[in-house]
Homo-oligomer: A and B are copies of this chain.
Amino acid sequence: MTDTRCKLLDGTLETLRTKGIAGISARTIASAAGVNQALVFYHFGSVDELIAAACRESATDRVRSYRAQFLEVTSLRELLAVGRVLHAQEREAGNVTVLAQVLAGAERDPSLAAAGREALAVWVIEIETVLHRLLGGSPVAAAIDVPGLARGIAASFIGIEMYDGVDPVGAEHALSALEQLSVLIEVVDDLGPLARRALRSRMRRASH
């Protein structure tokens, strides 16, 4: 990876964060990266291809940096704690914003759609792995589709990030409430056998 390619990728992420997908261009990227505008096309062919590459790199890079922590988690409580740290760091770094902006741009360009789909998949696989390990033997796993839950969590993070862009206080409340929901799962998970039976029959009825 040459130095210029790296500068362009970083400049793209920075520009996505500050101006969004609607305000990005080869010129603004080059300016943020401190390189010549023509290099965007020499190295990546087009602006959208560069954005797609930056999105992919950002996702794999961030997920890799959290993998070790995810592997150490042994309870929903711990997962929540890791999730809190992760969320704070990612918000600070603006990586969720990048993904959200690329997803918004997917409406315009197929290469952005593909990159957004892949970046999302990278996060989802990671979340799914942890959830499957933690909820494997739990009655909650019988009631809730774990792969679906992983996708739901990823989607919620995206939505909260968009919310945060226009109302940080409201977004903070949203996040806290969803965190409390996960505690609810843990609570149900720890209920006695009697309550578990009630839960199972209730869930069965609910699904019809």
User: Smallest CB–CB gap between A39 and chain B, Å?
Assistant: 22
**Given A156-B159, A166-B113, A107 and B19 contact (CB-CB distance below 8 Å):** yes
Measured CA separation A89–B108 after assembly (Å): 23
Interface of A is mostly: helix
The answer to whether B152 touches A175 (Cβ under 8 A) is: yes
Q: A158-B158, A181-B181 are in contact. List 9 more A-B contacts (CB 8 A).
A: A20-B107, A22-B107, A121-B167, A140-B184, A148-B176, A152-B160, A152-B174, A156-B159, A158-B159
A11 at the interface (CB under 8 A from B): no
Q: Which of A1-58 contact B (CB under 8 A)?
A: 17-24
User: Smallest CB–CB gap between A189 and chain B, Å?
Assistant: 10
Measured CA separation A19–B109 after assembly (Å): 9
Say which residue of B17, B152, B199, B206 sits within 8 Å of A156 (CB atoms): B152
The answer to whether A165 touches B106 (Cβ under 8 A) is: yes
A74 at the interface (CB under 8 A from B): no
What B residues does A18 contact at CB under 8 A?
A: 107
What B residues does A23 contact at CB under 8 A?
A: 107-108
A82 at the interface (CB under 8 A from B): no
The answer to whether B159 touches A160 (Cβ under 8 A) is: yes
Interface string of A147-180 (1 = CB under 8 A from B): 1110110111111101101110011011111101
Interface residues of A, count at CB 8 A: 74
Say which residue of B105, B143, B158, B199 sits within 8 Å of A20 (CB atoms): B105
The answer to whether A170 touches B124 (Cβ under 8 A) is: yes
What B residues does A124 contact at CB under 8 A?
A: 170
User: Smallest CB–CB gap between A20 and chain B, Å?
Assistant: 3
Measured CA separation A180–B140 after assembly (Å): 10
